Structure 1
Amino acid sequence: MSNFSKEITGSVASLHISNNSDMSKESTETIQVEFDGIVEDKHRSYMRGAYEGESVPAGTVRRNDRQWSAVSLEELTKIQESMELETTLTATTLTANLCFKGIPNFSQLPKGSQLCFPSGAILMVEDYNPPCSYMSEKIAQTHTTTSGQPPKRLAFVKA
């Protein structure tokens, strides 16, 4: 029988939580994770409404598979370079709860991957959350490119 598991070692670069209506995240030193998500975070819940574009009609109540979100510093750098951004693209900008370093292809981790922490906590990758047009528009409003212009409205989606 072959072993399909592979261990990748990385570390937490930053942590963020939000309970705001504008989806912004605030940095924090620690987070508490329970079965329904990150304590005090807006996305904490067993259920959520389906988003437009999912396989069920928007608003349909379904199991929440987006209780937390994460990015890696390496991928943020690639996106920033691809978009030719003048200012740093951060996990806070993308409203991610966790930012890792040392995992360059973080967004390619397969469903079911386990993120194991020294505390004994384990987060499981549920799905890939693709770049959305809302976030692309937010970046276009808050960042400039190396040419001094705002990025194109959907540049983040394409990056």
Structure 2
Amino acid sequence: MTASDQPQPAGDIAVTPVIKRKGRVAAVAAASGMAIGAQAVPALEVTHEGIPGDRHAGFLRPADVRVPWFQRGEPIHNERQVSIVSVEELAVIAANLGIDHVEPEWLGANLAVEGLPRFSFIPRGTRLFFPSGAVLAVTDQNAPCRIAGAEVARHCGGKDGLALRFSAAAKRLRGVVAHVDRPGAIRVGEAFHIRVPEQWVWCG
């Protein structure tokens, strides 16, 4: 074992303390069937299985291209029950694409929030606490894809090249995915708060 392989004192690792912030629910939506688009609703009732009737609900989901360490189609824990985007980042995506706006439902998002800068970079383990007692736990950053781009293009009259440009325009702006930690209701217009856990970078 070389000197560089020796365990390092904890003091050599910078630890960022817990961060708490407040945001507001701008929109909520549910998606049914196989289409990516969602339908706006005034409130969501979330359970430990996700959003009842939503195409992403369930304790398990089939493994896909996002998790290449599993065999495709193999049942795995569903950490993608809820898709969350931010109003501010949707505006940046729209500007990057040269269109007036992008609605969260076009991307199949279940929840659009506002008031949280650089929302797509909130880390795994961040929890969103809502007045009803509902809690969502962030599991990953959501990556843009051509399927979502095609849906945006469809709502924009099939604008040439938009579907292909979407992935680059929405990179690191597509929001996050989460699972339900505690059931409850999430309503349009209500305030909520987030708790970002302690953070550090581990390089081995």
Q: TM-score, normalised by structure 2?
A: 0.70
Please identify the structure whose Cα radius of gyration is greater: 2
Is residue 150 of structure 1 aligned with residue 160 of structure 2?
A: yes
From 103, 125, 130, give the equivalent of 1:90.
103
Quote the Cα distance in structure 2 between the aligned partners of 1:3 and 1:157.
31
1:37-76 to 2 correspondences below 5 Å: 37-55=50-68, 56-76=70-90
Supply the AA of the counterpart residue of 2:164. Answer: L
What's the secondary structure of 2:141's corresponding residue?
Answer: coil
Is residue 33 of structure 1 aligned with residue 56 of structure 2?
A: no
Identity of aligned residues (%): 30
Quote the Cα distance in structure 1 between the aligned partners of 2:87 and 2:138.
18
From 27, 35, 47, give the equivalent of 1:14.
27
Supply the AA of the counterpart residue of 1:99. Answer: A
Is residue 104 of structure 1 aligned with residue 117 of structure 2?
A: yes
Q: Pick 1 or 2: higher relative contact order, CA cutoff 8 A, min separation 6.
A: 2
Shift of 1:54: 2.2
On the 8 A contact 2:36/2:147 being kept in 1, the answer is no
Q: When the two structures are aligned, how many residues end up with a matched partner?
A: 155
Residues 75 and 117 (structure 1), Cα distance of their counterparts in 2 relative to 1, 3 Å cut: same
Residues 138 and 9 (structure 1), Cα distance of their counterparts in 2 relative to 1, 3 Å cut: same
Shift of 1:156: 1.2
On the 8 A contact 1:9/1:102 being kept in 2, the answer is yes
Which stretch shifts more, 63-72 or 20-29?
A: 20-29
Shift of 1:5: 1.2
Quote the Cα distance in structure 1 between the aligned partners of 2:92 and 2:73.
33
Indicate the residue corresponding to 1:125 in structure 2. Answer: 138
Supply the AA of the counterpart residue of 2:94. Answer: Q
On the 8 A contact 1:141/1:150 being kept in 2, the answer is no
Supply the AA of the counterpart residue of 1:76. Answer: L
Residues 157 and 67 (structure 1), Cα distance of their counterparts in 2 relative to 1, 3 Å cut: same
Q: TM-score, normalised by structure 1?
A: 0.88
On the 8 A contact 1:71/1:91 being kept in 2, the answer is yes
On the 8 A contact 2:37/2:151 being kept in 1, the answer is no
